[in-house]
Amino acid sequence: MKIKKVVMAICATLLAAVSFGVAACSGCNSCNSCNGGSQNNQNITDDTTGDNGDGDNQGNDDNAGENGGDDQGNNDNAGENGGNGSGSETGGDDNTQTHTHTFATKWTWDETYHWHSATCEHTDEVADRAKHVYVDGLCSVCGAEEPFRLKEDTDFDALISDKVTAEEWQAAFDEENFKNVTLKLLVDNETYATFKKEYREDAQFTLMQAIPPENTDSLMPTEIGTETTENNRWMYQTNAQGDSIKIDINALASVDETAGETYIDAYDNWMSSYEMVCPNFGDFFEWFTYDEELGAYVFEGTDDDNYDDDIETNAIFAYWNEHYWRAVVKIVDGKIAYIESQINSTNIYYIHFYDYDYTVVELPEAEIVDVSQIY
């Protein structure tokens, strides 16, 4: 009986020991003690601490989890809820990345430019934006089809004008449309002069090249241009010896205030406005009728010296108003393409408008001349 009690006591002791061991490990998932290690090892390098890292770890925690504790090591990538340990305060930022935009391989384009659109979230970004380079009607870079545009070799006689509203008519004559354009003036179907206007970011340029018909003895071939920047205005012209000279227009006023200002006003009005060769018909829409056969807007007045029932436009100079008794206008894609006008029954003037937004003004090489030599 005594032996039986001893055996039972030994079994109870062993059962208690086993139960104590299970209780001691029931609160840890994979602690060091259960794996034969030391739970409080001070030299462990914990590179991949989990979501609930051990707060007492003193090792190098390179990738602290979302709820990292008070690690004292080098926490290079603190989680969202890093603890107050020195690791989260002084750790380096080894994995900081700069966003790199990504772009489509296919081209996107409009009438003037082509580009690669962004495929990342920054949709406003573009790459490789440049003007089209048309060869045989297609852009050699992106393959876009060349839209119809008015060029020097356009058959202006065959053009069919758009039918427009009064507002569209007036907009076509708005001088804002003539910042970059070439105009060719023909007298009795012979080229008389070309006028070019170009606006760049830093300056505006104009150039007139007159080549009077051979049967006109009173006029000489002429080349006149201007260059206007924020601070300077220059005039380029050919002198009596046939040399190109460059004159500071601003300096004219300092030499002779009255003559200088008059000259500046007259010249600027002449060269900067398309009215130098084209009357402003913008306010006379109701005076024109669309001619289906001509494919153009036509005004018919009276060939009368009294100018009754004729269009009188504002002109280059305040004292020089012009009267027109017949006019033909063609508008294509919202832009003036062709004007035929008559101030009498003898002379017919034709103006071709082309190279909108493509015009390039090349002013001549010229020697700067002291304006005091002029006045």
Cα separation, 326 vs 301, in Å, equals 6
pLDDT attached to residue 87: 42
| Higher-scoring residue by pLDDT: 341, 42 | 341
**DSSP assignment letter at 228:** E
- Looking at the predicted structure, is the pLDDT value of residue 286 above 70? yes
Q: How many Å apart are CA 69 and CA 352, to the nearest integer?
A: 81
Confidence of residue 21 (pLDDT cuts 50, 70, 90): very low
pLDDT, tens digit, for every residue of 208-265? 888 776 655 655 677 888 898 988 888 888 877 878 889 888 777 676 666 656 666 6
pLDDT of 66 over the 50 cut: no
Tokens of 236: 């380029």
The token duo for 346 is 């003898």
**What domains are there in the chain, each with its CATH number?**
47-89 (no CATH), 100-147 (no CATH), 156-370 (2.50.20)
Dist. CA 82–CA 86, nearest whole Å: 10
Within 8 A by CB and 6+ apart from 357, the residues are 112, 180
Q: What average pLDDT does the segment 75-84 reach?
A: 44
The DSSP secondary-structure symbol of 363 reads P
Per-residue tokens: 51: 């979501």
The Cβ-side half-sphere exposure at 363, using a 13 Å CA radius, reads 21
**In this predicted model, which residue has the larger pLDDT, 257 or 338?**
338
pTM (2 decimals)?
A: 0.63
pLDDT at 189: 78
For CA atoms 128, 134, 138, 140, the dihedral sign is negative
Are the CB atoms for 147 and 111 separated by under 8 Å? yes
Is residue 282 scored above 50 in pLDDT?
yes
Per-residue pLDDT of 173-182, as tens digits, reads 988 888 899 9
Q: Which residue has the tokens 């039918």?
A: 163
Q: What is the pLDDT of residue 305?
A: 66
The set of residues, in sequence order, having a beta carbon less than 8 Å from that of 17 and lying 6+ positions away, is none
Rounded mean pLDDT, 13-41: 38
Give dist(CA 289, CA 161) in Å, integer. 12
Both tokens assigned to 297:
């807007």
Average per-residue pLDDT for the chain: 73
Distance CA 183, CA 355 (A): 9
- Print burial letters for 127-142: b (CB count within 10 Å at least 16), e (below 16): eeeeebeeeeeebebb
Q: HEC states along 20-64?
A: HHHHHHCCCCCCCHHHCCCCCCCCCCCCCCCCCCCCCCCCCCCCC
- Average pLDDT score over residue span 104-124: 91
At 226, which amino acid appears? Answer: T
pLDDT (average), residues 6-12: 39
Reference 57, options 70, 47, 75, 48; nearest CA is 70
C-alpha span between 253 and 371 (Å, rounded): 10
| Beta carbons within 8 Å of 267's beta carbon, 6+ residues apart | 226, 235, 249
Q: Taking 80 as the threshold, does the pLDDT of residue 9 lie above it?
A: no
Cα-to-chain-centroid distance, residue 230: 21
Element (H, E) at 244: strand 244-248
**Mean pLDDT value across residues 169-196:** 89
